[in-house]
Structure 1
Amino acid sequence: MSYNNLFILSRPIASLPLLASKLSKNDALLLRGDACYNPAAFSPFEVPVYALKTDVEARGALARCASVNLIDDLEWVTLTLQYQRCISE
């Protein structure tokens, strides 16, 4: 099964409502880099939310990741193959 868009976020997002308006039910979010400082902020989204485990650990945000799927680099590559487009923001 192929999904629509994988949004790859590498910095904090100023407007979560604006981001939410861009998402469809077949999209997903991947947090990396500085976007991992507050992964819990993305829990209200109705799409799968992933985060690179090493980036979350480096930023001390592991305790705030209850609703976020932590993945490693190999899983990241696999995830990109499941989506039609990967959009970095």
Structure 2
Amino acid sequence: MKLYFNIEYHAKPGEKLELIVHEKDSAARSYMMFHTENSLWKCEVDFFLNQLLTNISLKDERRNILREEFVLHHLSFPHNYKRVFNFR
């Protein structure tokens, strides 16, 4: 499942937003967002989980954290398909 994140955020030149996805029983994954027009930041994430916890961090040119959300965003997605596994 592809998830598209669009966030409006005003950053200074050289600063970047990073989307952090926290998974149960696994290390967090980070995805650098790209800047488009009108202070809109975008990111595409490909996941097959039905629940995600995310937050955003603002980083400088050296990838030092300038700001980070402390509250995690809980996203739930109902799956309407069956996974089929064949073991032979």
TM range, normalised to the smaller chain? under 0.3
Structure number, greater radius of gyration? 2
- Give the structure-1-normalised TM-score: 0.26
- Higher helix proportion: 1
- Give the structure-2-normalised TM-score: 0.26
- Higher strand proportion: 2
